[in-house]
Amino acid sequence: MNEVKVASLGLDKASNTPVVILQEMDGERVLPIWIGPGEASAIAMELAGMKFSRPLTHDLFTTLMQGLGSELQRVLITKVVDNTYHAELILRRDGEMVSIDARPSDSIAIALRAKAPIFAHDDLLEEASIEIQSADMEAGDIFEGADAEEPAGMDAEQLKEYLKKMNPEDFGRFNP
């Protein structure tokens, strides 16, 4: 397992589907994961530091987890089966470790809120790296969108304002 970070969030140009790009902390390999608009919105809002007066689903899950005495230790992106990625939330409760099957998109949104590290299986990073190299293009050539550090064409404040005006179902039209 290799620790990864959210390098960017954008739209697949071909399908207009949100994609989160995970990058190795100590390397160049990336792992693109196609996700739903709601989860993309949840990730984007957390990256932009947006807070709401009432908890959204991933905020609620994080609060519930903490209220029950659990702490998210890490998220593991473990495998892909039939073009579907799988992940696990690794929780610690009363000194015991518990693994919960989850979608990577939800897991990433929760990990960002809980400030927990995210890890991807080496095989997934290797396969994604080969796919990108074999297509003779870089991730930036395939995806357009917001960089986690500084969104393309928008600073953090502009992104916050843009997201405030959107409904979650509108996220598929996100195009900074």
pLDDT (tens digit, 9 = 90+) per residue, 36-79?
998 998 999 899 888 888 888 899 999 999 999 999 999 999 99
Question: Does residue 120 register a pLDDT over 70?
Answer: yes
What range defines the domain where residue 124 resides? 2-173
Q: What is the pLDDT of residue 151?
A: 40
Q: What is the pLDDT of residue 61?
A: 93
The more confidently predicted of residues 62 and 138 is 62
CATH code at position 14 = 3.10.690.10
Q: Print the SS3 string covering the chain.
A: CEEEEEEEEEEECCCCCEEEEEEECCCCCEEEEECCHHHHHHHHHHHCCCCCCCCCHHHHHHHHHHHCCEEEEEEEEEEEECCEEEEEEEEEECCEEEEEEECHHHHHHHHHHHCCCEEECHHHHHHHHHHHHHCCCCHHHHEEEEECCCCCCCCHHHHHHHHHCCCHHHHHHCCC
| pLDDT tens per residue across span 3-45 | 999 998 888 888 888 999 999 998 888 999 999 998 998 999 8
Count of domains for the chain: 1
For the chain, the average pLDDT equals 79
Question: Does residue 171 register a pLDDT over 80?
Answer: no
